[in-house]
């Protein structure tokens, strides 16, 4: 529904497309194989590039023997630091906070295992693979430093992109003096590798100094100028196409070395080049989640109220860049805590540089916080849910701001009821199923901030009654093709099927980053506004046209719906869009839009999505093998555009949480620094058999402040809370808390033995 004249309404009404559980608009193309992913492109004259990776994690390449590779029939060219031209921009320069330092054969230093040291380009993929195997390297090797006890400690200046590494409010010591008890826990989280199903890939084709790039990307608006800078061409010379991404998880939001090398090879050879990473090459140059070593302490008074919250996180990054996961920021706005002190320290590992991954900071931090809260509840002799409600934050205690909306109480209630939480025995080890498996129930609170990016969009209404709506946005599987389409249709006041909708390439208005769980609000808000801009212009034409039934209604509220513009006060007075355009002799009307968040709202309110997750696990009493048998979450994230897709994202997030709790861990060889489990046999993720029952429930929430449309994100919310819920359920099953994630049989055995002793 398009409302006009555009009021500076805080809370715009969306129309009938939003709120519908439409099936994926891209579904048919995907299941029929018609959806073109980057590596599916094969332009005429295509060459294949495969890079050879360093077998050491730290040192220098002293000799690179390319003779055998070059002698291979089919190999066309081998790029090494010796013959690779300098890029127009130093790849170690940080031009934006989003820029990652990348390795593109500009030096002989080795900074992590798997770093590209040569690129073999060949007529066939097979020849390129074989050629890369024939590259022989000699090294001056330094000992690898991977792990908090081996890496070099440093004091960070920022976490994430720009957040200060330290924060404190209230008087921690004064609060502690009043405390009746405290709990404190130290937990480590491992390196995790994003491992989107679709490996990073590029197909690059140059035409003079014009470049066309097929590359999965979450942030086309950043990638386009970024690529242009590296190659010394104007941004308008870059065409970037990214209609579909096979997952991103944060790792396709910035530019990486391998893909830039593919573009470089194409320029060198004056032919199109494809470079697609193999699975094992995704464990180095394309980011990962920082490892963390965290300490969380809560101090509690005699009434079981939290008095003080302290969170310290030692976080890994690479030897040559500074991105740090903001784990210790996860609890700032979570529970009612008069005193807060959080701080990050950094440790340099000889790995690639980490980056944003699936709720960066919040996932890692909440995995530990939720355990600490559970331990506090146990100490208080209270049920974990009751304890969380007892310490419910009515405002954001880190800054005193009210929440723009917070339906967390309703989430707790909805999920607890669906789960059957009331029957939970307070002590661990009390429940067994009919097969004798120890059963445990645990819970966690979900929270994720609600950022907003300045996305742009365009909408064009045509005289035949159809329209076009577009923004560069990215669908990495989350459903942007569908949810954004719905919002575009509501902006125009039309049926989605009457609109040609387009996203995923750089000729479109900048739809900003598909990240931070902000894409629907930001790009969707822009699309809605673009449609509204069209309707505003249409209304201007109609109300000035003496032949229109809307003539003279310029000061009235008009509504566009189902392709018809009419008076809000009397819907019978109106006419179809086509009639207005026809009489005016106009072929089309173009509208521009930006999503809007009120500046004052940003300063006044704390903005978050919330949720509650309940987990059931079963633990074999002899083998200590853990299975998650039920995960039920309830979430409140403002206005939900597409319930089916929102639930899909939330259940996906909960499965990420299960993956974090029980499966994922990047293991590096202590001596060589090489990743040991760089395939899906060794790097575990849940398969269907691991996921028997995962359910996401949606709780209504009206958020009048977060942005014009009241839309918040659901992409990353589901992982937060889930990790701790599973750990708490394991404790409830067998009484053991483990000192690190993923929860492992050997740690459970150790813990169980300690309990017996």
The catalytic site residues sit at 716
User: CA-to-CA distance for 740 and 744, rounded, in angstroms?
Assistant: 8
Shortest reach from residue 656's CB to ligand MOS, in Å: 10
Q: Which of 250, 574, 653, 675 lies at the binding interface for ligand MOS (CB under 6 A)?
A: 250
DSSP state of 324: -
Measured CA to CA, the distance from residue 482 to residue 23 in angstroms comes to 8
Nearest to 637 by CA among 615, 612, 603: 612
Query: Strands (DSSP E) along 94-231, which ranges?
Result: 109-110, 116-122, 136-141, 152-154, 166-169, 181-189, 201-207, 210-214
Nearest residue (CB) to ligand MOS, 160 versus 549: 160
Q: Which is nearer to ligand MOS, 203 or 253 (CB)?
A: 253
Which one, 12 or 357, has the nearer CB to ligand MOS?
A: 357
Task: Tell me the two tokens of residue 114.
Answer: 């798997």
Closest approach of Cβ 653 to ligand MOS, in Å?
Answer: 11
Question: What DSSP character marks residue 271?
Answer: S
Instruction: Pick one of 61, 205, 253, 467: the residue that binds ligand MOS (CB under 6 A).
Output: 253
Q: Which is nearer to ligand MOS, 105 or 356 (CB)?
A: 356
Q: In this structure, what token pair is assigned to residue 718? A: 């589901």
Stretch that binds ligand MOS, among 34-42, 164-172, 354-362, 645-653 (CB under 6 A): 354-362
In this structure, are strands 558-561 and 626-636 parallel, antiparallel, or unpaired?
A: unpaired
Which one of the spans 126-134, 332-340, 355-363, 501-509 is the region binding ligand MOS (CB under 6 A)? Answer: 355-363
Quick one: 47 or 717, whose CB is closer to ligand MOS? Answer: 717
Pairing of strands 210-214, 201-207: antiparallel
Nearer to ligand MOS, 192 or 351 (CB): 192
Residue 367: HSE in the Cβ half-sphere, 13 Å Cα cutoff? 34
DSSP sequence for 572-604: TSEEEHHHHHHHHT-SEEEEEEE----HHHHHH
Tokens 């005699």 belong to which residue?
302
* Sole binder of ligand MOS in the list 240, 313, 357, 565 (CB under 6 A): 357
Q: Which is nearer to ligand MOS, 205 or 245 (CB)?
A: 245
Region 45-84 residues binding ligand MOS, contact defined as CB under 6 A:
none
* Helix residue spans in 424-518 (DSSP H): 480-492
Tell which phi-psi region holds residue 749, choosing left (phi > 0), alpha (psi between -120 and 50) or beta: alpha
In the complex, minimum distance from the CB of residue 218 to ligand MOS, in angstroms, rounded to a whole number: 6
Among 516, 595, 653, 724, contact with ligand MOS (rule: CB under 6 A)? 516
From the list 69-77, 244-252, 297-305, 720-728, the region that binds ligand MOS by CB under 6 A is: 244-252
Please count the residues of this chain forming the interface with ligand MOS, following the rule CB under 6 A: 11
Check: CB of residue 534 under 8 Å from CB of residue 244.
no
- Residue 416, H or E segment: helix 408-419
- Report, in Å, the least distance between residue 513 CB and ligand MOS: 7
CB-wise, 205 or 359, nearer to ligand MOS? Answer: 359
Q: Which of residues 151-190 bind ligand MOS (CB under 6 A)?
A: none
Half-sphere exposure of 293 (CA within 13 A, CB side): 11
Which lies closer to ligand MOS via its Cβ, residue 249 or residue 624? 249
Q: How far is the CB of 516 from ligand MOS (least distance, A)?
A: 4
User: Least distance to ligand MOS from the beta carbon of 523, Å?
Assistant: 14
The stretch among 90-98, 176-184, 357-365, 581-589 that binds ligand MOS (CB under 6 A) is 357-365
User: Tokens standing for 756?
Assistant: 């017996």
Q: Which is nearer to ligand MOS, 264 or 480 (CB)?
A: 480
> Closest residue (Cβ) to ligand MOS?
250
Distance (Å, rounded) from C-alpha 492 to C-alpha 9? 17
Q: Which of 137, 128, 114 is nearest to 70 (CA)?
A: 128
Torsion of CA 357, 361, 363, 367, to 10 degrees: 140
User: Using CB under 6 A as the criterion, what x/- string covers residues 272-291 for binding ligand MOS?
Assistant: --------------------
CA–chain centroid gap for 399, Å, is: 25
The span from the CA of 182 to the CA of 296, in Å, is: 10
What is the DSSP pairing of strand 116-122 with strand 75-79?
Answer: antiparallel
- 508 alpha carbon, distance to own chain's centre: 22
CB of 352 to ligand MOS, least distance (A): 16
Specify the residue, 323 or 412, whose C-beta has the smaller distance to ligand MOS.
323
- Cβ 670 vs Cβ 145: under 8 Å: no
Note the Cα 327 to chain centre separation in Å. Answer: 15
Min separation Cβ 45 and ligand MOS, Å: 34
Residue of 216, 331, 346, 360 that binds ligand MOS (CB under 6 A): 360
Based on the shown chain and the rule CB under 6 A, indicate whether residue 358 belongs to the binding site for ligand MOS. Answer: yes
* C-alpha dihedral (217, 221, 223, 227), degrees to nearest 10: 140
Q: Which of 156, 248, 493, 525 binds ligand MOS (CB under 6 A)?
A: 248
Tell whether residue 593 is a contact of ligand MOS (CB under 6 A). no
**Rounded to 5°, angle at Cα 436 from 432 and 440:** 35
Of 258, 255, 263, nearest to 233 by C-alpha is 263
Taking the complex as a whole, the smallest distance from the CB of residue 272 to ligand MOS amounts, in Å, to 29
Residue 681, classed as helix, strand or coil, is coil
Measured from the CB atom, is 2 or 277 closer to ligand MOS?
277
Q: Taking a C-beta distance cutoff of 8 angstroms, is the pair 370, 660 a contact? A: no
| CA atoms of 617 and 17, how far apart (whole Å) | 39
Least distance between ligand MOS and beta carbon 361 (Å): 10
- In whole angstroms, the minimum distance from the beta carbon of 358 to ligand MOS comes to 6
Site for ligand MOS in 99-138 (CB under 6 A): none
Residues 475-504 that bind ligand MOS (CB under 6 A): none
288, 354 Cβ separation under 8 angstroms = yes
In the complex, what is the shortest distance from the CB of residue 667 to ligand MOS, in angstroms, rounded to a whole number?
22
Contact indicator for 4, 535 with CB cutoff of 8 Å: yes
Least distance in angstroms from the C-beta of 323 to ligand MOS: 12
Q: Choose, by CB under 6 A, the member of 104, 211, 356, 645 that binds ligand MOS.
A: 356
Stretch that binds ligand MOS, among 111-119, 245-253, 269-277, 630-638 (CB under 6 A): 245-253
| Residues in contact with ligand MOS, shown as a per-residue x/- string from 306 to 345 under the rule CB under 6 A | ----------------------------------------
Longest dimension (CA), the chain: 92
**Nearer of residues 248 and 509 to ligand MOS, judged by Cβ:** 248
Is the distance from CB of 340 to CB of 309 less than 8 angstroms?
yes
Tokens of 207: 């035409």
Q: Which two tokens stand for residue 504?
A: 């995923």
Residues 210-229 that bind ligand MOS (CB under 6 A): 218
Q: Does residue 515 touch ligand MOS according to CB under 6 A?
A: yes
Q: Which residues bind ligand MOS (CB under 6 A)?
A: 218, 248-250, 253, 356-358, 360, 515-516
């Amino acid at each position: 529904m398009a409302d006009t004249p555009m009021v500076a309404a805080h809370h715009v009404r969306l129309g009938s497309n939003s709120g519908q559980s439409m099936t994926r608009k891209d579904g048919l193309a995907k299941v029929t194989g018609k959806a073109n992913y980057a590596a599916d492109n094969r332009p005429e004259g295509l060459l294949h590039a495969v890079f050879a990776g360093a077998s050491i994690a730290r040192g220098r390449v002293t000799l690179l023997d390319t003779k055998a590779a070059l002698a291979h029939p089919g190999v066309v060219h081998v790029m090494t630091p010796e013959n690779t031209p300098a890029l127009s921009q130093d790849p170690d320069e940080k031009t934006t906070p989003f820029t990652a330092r990348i390795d593109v054969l500009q030096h002989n230093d080795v900074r992590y295992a798997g770093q590209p040291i040569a690129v073999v380009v060949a007529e066939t993929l097979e020849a390129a693979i074989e050629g890369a195997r024939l590259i022989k390297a000699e090294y001056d090797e330094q000992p690898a430093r991977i792990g908090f006890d081996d890496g070099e400690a440093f004091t960070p200046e920022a976490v994430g992109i720009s957040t200060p590494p330290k924060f404190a409010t209230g008087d921690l010591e004064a609060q502690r003096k009043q405390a009746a008890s405290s709990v404190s826990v130290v937990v480590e989280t491992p390196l995790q590798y994003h491992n989107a199903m679709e490996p990073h890939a590029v197909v690059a084709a140059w035409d003079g100094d014009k470049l066309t790039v097929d590359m999965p990307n979450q942030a086309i608006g950043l990638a386009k100028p970024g690529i242009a800078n590296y190659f010394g061409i104007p941004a308008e010379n870059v065409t970037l196409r990214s209609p579909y991404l096979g997952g991103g998880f944060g790792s396709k939001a910035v530019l990486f070395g391998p893909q830039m090398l593919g573009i470089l090879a194409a320029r060198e050879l004056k032919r199109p080049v494809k470079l697609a990473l193999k699975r094992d090459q995704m464990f180095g140059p394309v980011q990962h989640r920082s490892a963390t070593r965290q300490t969380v302490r809560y101090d509690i008074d005699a009434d079981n109220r939290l008095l003080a919250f302290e969170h310290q996180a030692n976080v890994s990054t690479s030897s040559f860049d500074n991105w740090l996961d903001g784990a210790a920021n996860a609890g700032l706005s979570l529970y009612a805590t008069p005193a807060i002190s959080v701080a990050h320290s950094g440790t340099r590992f000889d790995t690639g540089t980490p980056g944003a991954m699936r709720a960066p900071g919040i996932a890692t931090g909440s995995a530990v916080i939720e355990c600490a809260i559970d331990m506090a509840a146990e100490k208080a002799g209270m049920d974990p849910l009751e304890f969380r409600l007892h310490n419910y934050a009515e405002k954001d205690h880190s800054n005193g701001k009210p929440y723009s909306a917070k339906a967390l109480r309703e989430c707790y209630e909805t999920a607890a009821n669906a789960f059957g939480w009331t029957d939970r025995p307070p002590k661990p080890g009390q429940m067994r199923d009919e097969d004798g498996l120890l059963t445990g129930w645990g819970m966690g609170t979900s929270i994720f901030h609600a950022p907003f990016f300045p996305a742009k969009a365009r909408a064009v209404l045509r005289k035949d009654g159809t329209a076009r709506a577009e923004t560069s946005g990215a669908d990495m599987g989350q459903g942007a093709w569908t949810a954004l389409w719905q919002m575009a249709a509501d902006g125009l006041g039309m049926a989605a099927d009457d609109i040609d909708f387009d996203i995923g390439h750089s000729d479109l208005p900048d739809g900003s980053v598909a990240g931070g769980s902000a894409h629907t609000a930001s790009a969707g808000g822009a699309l809605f506004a673009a449609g509204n801009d069209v309707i505003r212009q249409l209304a201007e034409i109609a109300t000035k046209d003496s032949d229109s039934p809307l003539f003279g209604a310029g000061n009235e509220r008009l509504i566009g719906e189902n392709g018809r513009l009419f008076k809000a006060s009397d819907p019978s007075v109106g006419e179809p869009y086509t009639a207005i355009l026809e009489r005016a002799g106009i072929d089309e009307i173009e509208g521009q839009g930006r999503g809007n968040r009120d500046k004052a709202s940003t300063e006044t309110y704390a903005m978050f999505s919330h949720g509650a997750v309940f987990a059931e696990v079963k633990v074999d009493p002899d083998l200590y093998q853990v299975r998650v048998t039920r995960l039920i979450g309830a979430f409140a994230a403002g206005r939900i555009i597409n319930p089916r897709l929102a639930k899909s994202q939330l259940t996906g997030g909960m499965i990420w949480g299960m993956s974090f709790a029980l499966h994922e861990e990047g293991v590096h060889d202590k001596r060589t620094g090489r990743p040991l489990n760089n395939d899906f046999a060794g790097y575990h993720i849940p398969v269907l058999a691991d996921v028997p029952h995962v359910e996401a429930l949606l709780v209504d929430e009206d958020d009048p402040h977060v942005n014009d449309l009241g839309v918040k994100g659901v992409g990353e919310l589901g992982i937060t809370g889930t990790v701790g819920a599973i750990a708490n359920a394991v404790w409830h099953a067998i009484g053991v808390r483990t000192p690190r994630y993923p929860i492992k049989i050997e740690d459970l055995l150790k813990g169980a033995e300690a309990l017996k002793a």
